[in-house]
Amino acid sequence: MDFLKNLLASVMGFFIACTIILFSIILIAFFVGQEEEIEVKTNSVLKLSLEAVVKDYAPKATDPISEILGQNEDFIGLNAIATAIENAKYDANIKGISLETKAVSAGLTQVKSIREALTSFKESGKFIFAHGDFYGQKEYYLSSVADSVFVSPLGEVEFKGLAFETLFFKDFQDKYGMKMEVIRHGKYKSAVEPYLENKMSDSNRLQLKELIDSIWDDVLTGVSEEREVTKETLNHIADNLLGRSAELAKENHLVDGVIYKDAYDAKITNLLGGKFSTISLTDYIKTGKGAKFNSSPNKIAVIYAQGEIIYGRGDENYVGQEMIIEALKKARNKESIKAVVLRVNSPGGSALASDLIWRELELTKAEKPLIVSMGDLAASGGYYIACNADKIVAEPSTITGSIGVYGIVPNISEFSENIGIHSDRVATNKGGSYSAFQPMNAAYYKVTKEGVDKVYHSFVSKVAKGRNMTFEEAHELAQGRVWTGTQALQNGLVDELGGLERAMEIAATAAGLSDYRTVNYPSYEKDFKETLKGIPFIKSEASLLKEWVGTANFQLFKKLQDLKTAMGMQARLPFVYELK
């Protein structure tokens, strides 16, 4: 009897769920039909807030369900932003741009690319104003490109320079008996240093200091040129926190005025000679202004490798060799595609997946010009897949290099012994497998170290071949050390400084093209099940966790998850980097 009751309840539940889903789809279809068309009105101002996560490549789902659920609003593509600003430059209805940033979710090189697009926009003679209740360093770096910068009376401009901070766990491991067993190659591979020491090694301190000095100099250069304040003065401002109040920020020429938002709007009204309309960047892109239209039969494929490198399929957040290899084969086999640009924005990851992608790039380069464009990160595995290109283009603040390999495995043998948990085992052979409940033996360490050394030798050999160096020259630049794009240009790891547009120009020249259009790969297609994850009662654990703990804390959790699920030897950036 209970069985029949449970069966009946299950059947009823199934039909109720189907009814709810069907009803939701009907409602979605209704709302899509009722949605008003977005119009760019005359005398409009384009508003840029950039609160959505900026990705180098952010393809949108085209189904109405995703649109209604707002899944397309979680992120925005850098290419769409730059194109929209370029289109606004020639749009008679757009009279200017208002930068109203609060929390820019973009990397430093992405911000620089947007600044360059805004600089080009100003050539039209149209204005760019900026207003903020307060400015973080990244938000100010972007807003400093404006003709005039304003801040609210109780606001501030955070301008304090850059710093890296690392936590060390050696004493914690020794005290509690929980530790990471480390096998590495390269004296600069500092990803594992926190498990071995209680402070930075001299070599790690040196590379990090040189790194942030180079990045900071690039920020200073951009602000100095736009605000007409010398770098020396800007460093003085940073040393003494002279943007810590609105009045100090104005006194030190970081901003042009201290006013509330209503007074800011009044300034734009006066400038335009009357009432104006605003249109958000996302709405402007929805009108079709985020895409370039070109009917040229010649194409350049732009293949985006963004995120950590994993062994497997991959998606818009992770670089998987399967998806990248598919994209490269399509680009190689289509006659209309004359050249390939690989856009790398990755801290690295799986050495095996990186090597498989490298091989497919070798096959592609043999048939068509291959140019690499580096974003914020092209380090470790990210450099592995870039090193064999015909030309490599990086931004000055790109973090690259980190040519090294390491492996870490957890060991809690001492901890388990201390709390009375003991491990014993039998095996058919001497090799056996590693156990976190027993100390790492010399034989296992030796075999693993051989694997690390082999991958390192393969990595350096590929760099030497791709960059026309001897093995010794490549090794001198390797050992896990990281470089900025500016430093990499000086030591031969990249060929030129510039952005994605410059890489495409080089690709076009190499292919002998005077006219071309771009096609983006990979194609990220979501099935119906993935789309339904956006509905509140079908959300994934990750979505719920992000809502509960906040975006910043979720990113920390995600880093731990990535470390836990990493398979095989890792060629990965030795730290988490973000400009704040």
CATH of the domain at 100: 3.90.226.10
Same domain, 343 and 436: yes
Same domain, 434 and 335: yes
Q: Do 63 and 81 have their domain in common?
A: yes
CA–CA gap between residue 395 and residue 377 (Å, rounded)? 10
Q: Is residue 285 part of a domain?
A: yes
Q: What is the reported pLDDT for 127?
A: 97
Residues 249, 131 within the same domain: yes
Distances 301 to 117, 213, 331, 357, 516 between C-alpha atoms, Å: 22, 35, 6, 16, 10
Neighbours of 484 (CB within 10 A): 24
**505: in domain:** yes
Containing H/E element for 21? helix 2-34
Rounded distance, CA 9 to CA 18, Å?
Answer: 14
Residue at a domain's end among 225, 260, 289: 289
DSSP state of 149: E
Within a domain: 542: no
Closest C-alpha among 265, 185, 232 to residue 459 = 185
Is 189 an active-site residue? Answer: yes
The confidence score (pLDDT) of residue 527 equals 47
Say if residue 376 is in the same domain as residue 461: yes
In 3D, which of 362, 312, 308, 320 has the Cα closest to residue 340? 362
Please check whether residue 170 lies inside any domain of the structure: no
Q: Which of 144, 380, 397, 402 is catalytic?
A: 380
Specify whether the CB–CB gap between 111 and 59 falls below 8 A.
Answer: no
The number of CA neighbours under 13 Å toward the Cβ of 127 is: 16
pTM of the model: 0.83
Question: Same domain for 458 and 521?
Answer: yes
* CA 159 vs CA 144, 218, 237, 249: distances in Å: 12, 14, 7, 10
Q: Which of 55, 60, 189, 338 is catalytic?
A: 189
Same structural domain, 268 and 350? no
Q: Which of 226, 256, 289 is the last residue of a domain?
A: 289
Residue 326's domain spans which residues?
299-531+568-572
Check residue 249 and give its pLDDT.
98
CA distance 496 to 396: 9
> Based on the number of CB atoms within 10 Å of its own CB, is 104 exposed (0-12), middle (13-18) or buried (19 or more)?
buried
Residue 125 gets which letter from DSSP?
Answer: T
Pair 399, 273 in one domain: no
Residue 333 lies in a domain: yes
pLDDT value for 33: 47
| Token duo for residue 481 | 């050390």
The angle at the Cα of 227, spanning 224 to 231, to the nearest 5 degrees, equals 25
Same domain, 355 and 434: yes
Rounded Cα distance between 177 and 348, Å, is: 30
Could you read off the pLDDT tens digit of each residue along the chain, which spans 580 residues? 555 555 565 656 655 655 665 565 555 544 544 456 788 999 999 999 998 889 998 876 544 454 544 455 578 999 999 999 999 999 999 999 999 998 898 999 999 999 999 999 999 999 999 999 999 999 999 999 999 999 999 999 999 999 988 889 999 999 998 888 888 776 655 668 888 899 998 888 888 899 999 999 999 999 999 999 999 999 999 999 999 999 999 999 999 999 999 999 999 999 999 999 999 999 999 998 888 888 899 999 999 999 999 999 998 889 999 999 999 999 999 999 999 999 999 999 999 999 999 999 999 999 999 999 999 999 999 999 999 999 999 999 999 999 988 888 889 999 998 889 988 888 888 776 788 888 888 888 888 889 889 999 999 999 999 999 999 999 999 988 899 999 999 999 999 999 999 999 999 999 999 999 999 999 876 544 444 454 444 444 555 555 555 555 555 555 555 555 554 556 666 554 444 5
Q: How far apart are CA 121 and CA 110, in angstroms?
A: 17
Same domain, 283 and 305: no
Catalytic annotation on 286?
A: no
Considering its fold, how many domains does the chain have in total? Answer: 2
| Tokens standing for residue 61 | 């789902």
> Coil, helix or strand for 16?
helix
One-letter identity of residue 414: E
Residue 303 burial (10 A CB sphere; 0-12, 13-18, 19+): buried
279 and 304 housed in the same domain: no
Is 294 inside a domain boundary? no
DSSP 356-370: HHHHHHHHHHTTS-E
User: Which H or E run includes 244?
Assistant: none
CA distances from 80 to 47, 111, 113 (A): 15, 14, 12
Residue 351 domain flag: yes
Domain membership flag for residue 91: yes
Q: Say if residue 377 is in the same domain as residue 493.
A: yes
Last residue of a domain, one of 260, 289, 318: 289
